[in-house]
């Protein structure tokens, strides 16, 4: 829907700025007035990762005057396949600082504001209040709902995006003029149902496709040109090379932006989204071993059946010696239960211990009462038992 410009124009553009932005200035719909609005704009990027990378780089190049970056993580080698704002020499550095350096290299006229911390209930309202627009590039549901609720409570618009394997989605949420994220997704998916990028993977270039949509929407909102994605969900399928738009409506029963809201302040988002289901949490009590204990069990000749519940692609990368692969889905749907031995203690592991906890609940419910899972999964095995193996 068409909206008035989000920000007023800056007083003027310098001679250098006119030269730099000339290809914008000669677009009639942008012009000097539009460029001055970008100069006056304050945009916050939540995350400097897959989506934050292209978003920050193009927002900087476009001449957005103030760019906020909130990011607490450090650059890891496994980020570089898609997080193009960081480079080889940035490995180990705070992502916020690495992103700032890249932004200033692209455009020294940008005022970069670093928030080198995790977004939380304690700071989200105070930080968001300093900006005209928020770009959400987070990859977990707890932060996603927190971003939405804070934006609704402050009356701010934000541009949302999400990516997984070959699929992406993007939209604009602004409760004062249309739907919010909770109107689209009232409840988070059950814990363990939707794998994260770390578990399921993401095609690196997908970040550019969705990040570019987010920046396009940001520029449209800031300058007041075109029809934004407010009230529409963009769904991108890279394999089919297909973009679809789905109409979204404001939900009158939305918990936060509906007629009788039940959420009137920030809530406990970890609790709301739940990293592990209640059943899985209960199953792990007294049935969890460490990677070091697993190694001791193996060395002692204890009769165990070691089962890797990850997906085949992950098994190809790294595995614990002596394990066999039974993906979690085969255990949860019951197909693999009859193949489990009755005369050995079952030991389950996954990448980090979340999926194996879910599988453990199913295995114990099927009668394998002494089954256990490995805390921290194969990542912990590599760290504490065999650092020569790769982590992913």
Q: What is the DSSP string of 68-121?
A: EEE---B--GGGTTT-TTS-GGGTTSBHHHHHHHHHHHH-TT-EEEEE-S---T
How near is the Cβ of 265 to Zn ion at its closest, in Å? 15
Give the pair of three-digit tokens for residue 330.
Answer: 């085969």
Distance CA 174, CA 250 (A): 10
Strand partners, 246: 233
Nearer to Zn ion, 185 or 243 (CB): 185
End-to-end Cα, the chain, rounded Å: 42
Task: Show which residues are catalytic.
Answer: 197, 350
CA 53-137-25 angle, to 5 degrees, is 60
Residue 294 near residue 347 (C-beta atoms within 8 A): yes
Nearer to Zn ion, 57 or 152 (CB): 152
Nearer to Zn ion, 253 or 292 (CB): 253
347 three-class SS: strand
Residue nearest to Zn ion (CB): 254
Distance CA 76, CA 277 (A): 29
Distance CA 215, CA 38 (A): 12
Q: Which helix (H) or strand (E) holds 169?
A: strand 167-173
Residue 2 near residue 35 (C-beta atoms within 8 A): no
Task: Provide the binding-site residues for Zn ion, judged by CB under 5 A.
Answer: 180, 182-183, 254, 257
Q: Are strands 42-46 and 66-70 parallel, antiparallel or unpaired?
A: parallel
Nearer to Zn ion, 183 or 348 (CB): 183
How near is the Cβ of 122 to Zn ion at its closest, in Å? 24
Q: What's the length of the chain?
A: 392
Q: Which residues of 275-297 are buried (b: 16+ CB within 10 A; e: fewer)?
A: ebbebbeebbeebbbebeebbeb
Q: Which residues of 17-54 are buried (b: 16+ CB within 10 A; e: fewer)?
A: beebbeebbeeeebeeebbbbbbbbbbbbbbbbbbbbb
Residue 107 near residue 60 (C-beta atoms within 8 A): yes
The neighbour count for residue 264, using CB atoms within 10 Å, is: 10
């Amino acid at each position: 829907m068409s909206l008035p410009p989000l920000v007023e124009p800056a007083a003027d553009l310098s001679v250098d700025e006119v030269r730099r932005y000339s290809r914008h200035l000669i677009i009639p719909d942008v012009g000097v007035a539009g460029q001055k609005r970008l100069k006056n704009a304050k945009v916050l990027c939540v995350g400097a990762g897959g989506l934050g990378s292209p978003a920050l780089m193009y927002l900087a190049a476009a001449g957005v005057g103030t760019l906020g970056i909130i990011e607490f993580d450090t650059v890891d080698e496994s980020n570089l396949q898609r997080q193009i704002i960081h480079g080889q020499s940035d490995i180990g550095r705070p992502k916020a600082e690495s992103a700032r350096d890249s932004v200033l290299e692209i455009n020294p006229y940008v005022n970069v504001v670093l928030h080198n911390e995790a977004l939380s209930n304690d700071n989200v309202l105070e930080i968001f209040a300093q900006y005209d627009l928020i770009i959400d590039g987070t990859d977990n549901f707890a932060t996603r709902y927190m971003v939405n609720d804070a934006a609704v409570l402050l009356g701010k618009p934000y541009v949302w995006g999400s990516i997984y394997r070959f699929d992406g989605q993007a939209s604009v949420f602004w409760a004062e003029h249309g739907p919010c994220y909770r109107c689209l997704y009232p409840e988070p998916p059950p814990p363990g149902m939707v794998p994260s990028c770390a578990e399921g993977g993401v095609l690196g270039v997908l970040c550019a496709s969705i990040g570019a949509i987010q920046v396009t929407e940001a520029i449209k909102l800031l300058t007041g040109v075109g029809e934004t994605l407010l009230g529409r969900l963009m769904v991108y399928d890279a394999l089919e090379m297909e973009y679809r738009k789905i109409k979204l409506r404001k939900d009158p029963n939305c918990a936060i932006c509906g007629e009788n809201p039940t959420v009137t302040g920030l809530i406990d988002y970890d609790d709301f989204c739940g990293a592990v289901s209640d059943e899985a949490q209960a199953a792990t009590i007294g049935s969890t071993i460490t990677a070091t204990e697993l190694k001791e069990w193996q060395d002692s000749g204890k009769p165990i059946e070691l089962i890797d519940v990850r997906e085949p692609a992950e098994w190809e990368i790294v595995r614990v010696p002596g394990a066999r692969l039974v993906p979690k889905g085969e255990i949860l749907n019951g197909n693999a239960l009859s193949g489990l031995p009755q005369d050995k203690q079952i030991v389950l592991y996954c990448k980090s211990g979340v999926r194996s906890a879910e599988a453990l609940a199913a295995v114990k419910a099927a009668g394998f009462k002494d089954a256990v899972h490995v805390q921290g999964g194969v990542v912990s095995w590599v760290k504490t038992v065999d650092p020569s193996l790769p982590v992913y």
